[in-house]
Amino acid sequence: MKRNSGPVMAQAPPNIALLKYWGKRDSALNLPVADSLAVCLDDFHTTAKMQRADAPADSFVWNGQEMGPPYRSRFQRMVRFARERSARDEVIQAEIKSTLPPRIGLAGSAAAMSAFALALSEFFDMGLHSRELSALARMGSGSAARSIPDGFTWWHRGHLTDGTDSFAETILSHDAWPELRILLIILDTEGKRVSSTDGMVRVAQTSPHFEAWTHQCNFLAPIMLEAIQAQDFEKLSSLAQSNAQTMHALCMTAQPPIVYVSSATLRVLEHLEELRRAHPLFYTLDAGPNPIVFTLDGSLSTIESSLAASFPRASVQACRPGPGARIVKGNGAIK
């Protein structure tokens, strides 16, 4: 079999959940308790470069830093899988470059783990199809499963203990809803105090509302699927915003409570509710203080100007739905 002798490079986008992943049935494999839905962004890609190393151990450098725990063990878990599957044992050197600050609650690990998974599969000539690749990315970070396929995705929770039925797939291509715009409002680039992984465990162990949350997400998945496929902005607005609010309320019912939003977040949300009276708009929030706004192109410039005037210190980045992970050709330089 022909082997990849030179470096391989893959790129993957962050994805923003419309129906949130918050709870695991298996922490080692990142198997979720509920289905989730998301959309890939057309910007802020992460690049992963992988090559053979003449060294005693694998190396995982992310934004110039050699990774220690807990990320190192996640990369190692994926590499173990690749070695077993390909029956090969090269030592690898991986270099990952993100364009979003890590740990700000904006899907940085999803982009990194999915780019790494694709580079790994290419390097070891694993010949994985999209579902297997999505499941491999999931082992690195649950939400990374949704950065492999194109556009709008559904991550199936699955039922099997080995996780082979827990993968994401496209439900609407990235260019099928050209009017949709996604605004990242970056208020704070400090790392979050409680990681998503720890937050999910604490909520599952201590919140009396965790089971209701799980049932609600599984119930909502096919309804939200319909809204996305019908490009029904109004229906998606109420479902997605309410799901994000519920996730944050749920976190506050953990012991001790987890609060990801800040006072600046609340001021922006209040402003967005005002704008919502006149514009098609809804917001969502990941595990951090930075709101994400969904709107339609006709309202984009008004919303951007209004945010710039009221929150001059916030950085507002407009994106569109984008494709999933892909192999990139080049001269081996990582940008």
Give residues in contact with ligand 2P0 (CB under 6 A): 17, 20-22, 30, 36, 109-110, 141-143, 196-197, 286-287
> What is the spatial order of strands in the sheet that 291-296 belongs to?
281-285, 291-296, 180-186, 315-319
DSSP designation for 231: T
Nearer to ligand 2P0, 4 or 197 (CB): 197
Size of the chain, expressed as the number of residues it contains: 335
Helix residue spans in the chain (DSSP H) = 71-86, 108-123, 130-140, 196-206, 210-229, 233-252, 263-276, 297-310
Nearer to ligand 2P0, 141 or 295 (CB): 141
Nearer to ligand 2P0, 29 or 119 (CB): 29
Nearer to ligand 2P0, 70 or 127 (CB): 70
Q: How far is the CB of 41 from ligand 2P0 (least distance, A)?
A: 12
Q: Which residue is nearest to ligand 2P0 (CB)?
A: 142
Nearer to ligand 2P0, 16 or 307 (CB): 16
Cα(273)–Cα(45) distance, integer angstroms: 30
Q: How far is the CB of 145 from ligand 2P0 (least distance, A)?
A: 8
Coil, strand or helix at 314: coil
Type of residue numbered 295: T
Nearer to ligand 2P0, 122 or 286 (CB): 286
Q: How far is the CB of 71 from ligand 2P0 (least distance, A)?
A: 9
CB 105 within 8 A of CB 260: yes
Cα(130)–Cα(127) distance, integer angstroms: 10
**Element counts in the chain: helices (H) and strands (E):** 8, 16
Q: Which residues contact 198 (CB under 8 A, 6 or more apart)?
A: none
Q: How far is the CB of 247 from ligand 2P0 (least distance, A)?
A: 6
Coil, strand or helix at 78: helix
CB atoms within 10 A of CB 238: 11
Q: How far is the CB of 195 from ligand 2P0 (least distance, A)?
A: 7
Nearer to ligand 2P0, 8 or 184 (CB): 184
Q: How far is the CB of 56 from ligand 2P0 (least distance, A)?
A: 28
Q: How far is the CB of 55 from ligand 2P0 (least distance, A)?
A: 27
Q: How far is the CB of 108 from ligand 2P0 (least distance, A)?
A: 8
Cα(278)–Cα(295) distance, integer angstroms: 12
Nearer to ligand 2P0, 11 or 30 (CB): 30
Cα(112)–Cα(65) distance, integer angstroms: 14
Residue 226, burial from CB neighbour count under 10 angstroms (0-12, 13-18, 19+): middle
Tokens at 209, concatenated: 């509302």
